[in-house]
Structure 1
Amino acid sequence: MEEFVEFVGKDVDEAISKACEYFQTERDSLEIEILSGGSSGIFGLVGLKKAKVKAKKRENPLEVENKVRDIVQNLTKPIAPNSQINVDLSKDPIYVSIEEEEDAGVLIGKDGQTISAVQYLANRIIAKQCPGISRIQLDAANYRQRQNEKIKQTALALAQRAKRTGKTMKTQPLTSYHRRIIHLTLQKDRGIQTKSLGEGPLKRVLIMPKKKTMRRKPEQLQTRLTQ
């Protein structure tokens, strides 16, 4: 995994040219971040500042896919040795699905605890060994998709109950990913507001009915003004 290297020059173009020379590649093959645009100063003397950039080679998509697959394969092999792992780089986080028929239940675990643990370990390894790769979401037998749909339906049901009773509803403790699903599902409901509550990685989501503001009728407002 390539690390960023810093380069300086009298301007950004010169700094980038030095980066291309260092990596022996074209500009389009580099991931470049401009740290400072530089300044010519007054008459090219006072206040002169050099431009600074940092650059590294862009990751080859095939290499990224293979690295992610190898990491997940090594973690799941003791549980599901014959599984097929598919990596979808077009999604963020990277979506990794495990096709496994015989050992899918064992791989998922009770309430998804096993697959969540494997996902956590995989992301820790990726962060350490491949810092340029984004996080992954691990799925097996479409468990994540079914779980996401279940959470959405739960959110909608709790929202309806909150509006009907006028009371605040709350979910069970959820991960940040699942809390986000709740918030996004209900964000367009004008009669509901949501808020996370608790400490640590697992928090509940409060689903609260919005208080209706009482509007005075025109005749009531006119009477008050003439008093």
Structure 2
Amino acid sequence: MEYREFSAKNVDDAITEACEALMVTSDRLDYEVVSNGSSGFLGIASKPAVIKARIKDENAQAEEVKVEEKKEEKKEVKKEVKAETKVEVKEEVKSEPKAASNVNGDELVAKANAFLADVFGAMKMEVNLNTKFNPEDNILSVELSGDEMGVLIGKRGQTLDSLQYLISLVVNRDTQDYIHVKVDTENYRERRKATLENLAKNISYKVRKTRQSVALEPMNPYERRIIHSALQNDRYVTTHSEGDEPFRRVVVTLKK
């Protein structure tokens, strides 16, 4: 199978696009990164990430499975050997302490807050920050509040997404473990999710009634996944994505 080109805001989203288009899970995807893209400033003059992808060759995938099985067998043998050793020298064996995380949560919070302070200072906006780091999930959460949150949300959350992406670049610059960043304000993410799920149900009803396909407005990969997920178990309709970023959209069609 020949490689196909996919583009999105970042490499992870491009991989998601490829998985959707080829209808496979990420473990069955063979891909190469053509370009990591660039963010610009708050989404201005940004360049999308580009990958070339195809479905993995079945023979190659079978070989990978065999390799993984052999690794698992070796692990099981090692476990058995360790278990026997513990029985023989029970009093001398001591459990090794769990390795401490290399991520400095306080430093990440300080980096994110300093960056946002500069951004909002340049925008002449007063914004309150509530930044927290969860070391168990490696998630940095930033909650914004103030009088002008509509400006920061932007059209369909685009400005909020741009801020989230820029903060991710800042905090992941010198870290070994990847830090996931979530930026929200006034519970926008959850409200938007509920709106899209309700939209999906209404569109499903419209397609069933008119028996004609409906194309939704262009959405980012995250919002398209919400629509796909909301209708994946629908008895009457199915969904797929069409078009190129940033104009890619979900199309809802009647099942045959």
TM-score (norm 1): 0.59
Aligned residue in 1 for 2:179: 134
Aligned residue in 1 for 2:234: 189
Deviations 1:116-149 (A, max 9, x none): 3322322333343445233323211222222221
Equivalent of residue 96 in structure 1, options 142, 160, 173: 142
Helix, strand or coil: the match of 1:150? Answer: helix
Q: How does 1:215-226 map to 2 (within 5 A)?
A: none
Are 1:112 and 2:112 counterparts? no
Aligned residue in 2 for 1:171: 216
Aligned residue in 1 for 2:103: 59
Task: Tell whether the 8 Å contact from 1:64 to 1:133 is kept in structure 2 after alignment.
Answer: no
Are 1:208 and 2:253 counterparts? yes
Give the gaps of 5 or more residues in structure 2: 1-77, 79-95
Question: Displacement, 1:205?
Answer: 0.5
Helix, strand or coil: the match of 1:29? Answer: coil
Residue type of the alignment partner of 1:99:
S
- Structure 2 distance, partners of 1:73, 1:186, is 40
CA RMSD of aligned residues (A): 3.1
Q: 1:142 to 1:196 in 2, by over 3 A?
A: same
Deviations 1:147-193 (A, max 9, x none): 22111111111111112222111111000010111111111212221
Question: Displacement, 1:88?
Answer: 5.7
- Structure 1 distance, partners of 2:244, 2:167, is 24
Higher relative contact order (CA 8 A, sep 6+): 2
Aligned residue in 2 for 1:215: none
Aligned residue in 2 for 1:29: 99
Question: Displacement, 1:195?
Answer: 0.7
- Structure 2 distance, partners of 1:65, 1:129, is 14
- Structure 1 distance, partners of 2:105, 2:234, is 39
Question: Displacement, 1:200?
Answer: 2.2
Q: 1:88 to 1:162 in 2, by over 3 A?
A: farther
- Structure 1 distance, partners of 2:122, 2:139, is 25
Q: Percent sequence identity over matched residues?
A: 27
Q: 1:58 to 1:99 in 2, by over 3 A?
A: same
TM-score (norm 2): 0.53
Q: 1:203 to 1:117 in 2, by over 3 A?
A: same
Equivalent of residue 243 in structure 2, options 174, 198, 206: 198
Residue type of the alignment partner of 1:157:
N
Aligned residue in 2 for 1:76: 120
Task: Tell whether the 8 Å contact from 2:139 to 2:182 is kept in structure 1 after alignment.
Answer: yes
Question: Displacement, 1:76?
Answer: 3.5
Residue type of the alignment partner of 1:203:
R
Instruction: Kindly tell me the number of residue pairs found equivalent between the two proteins.
Output: 162
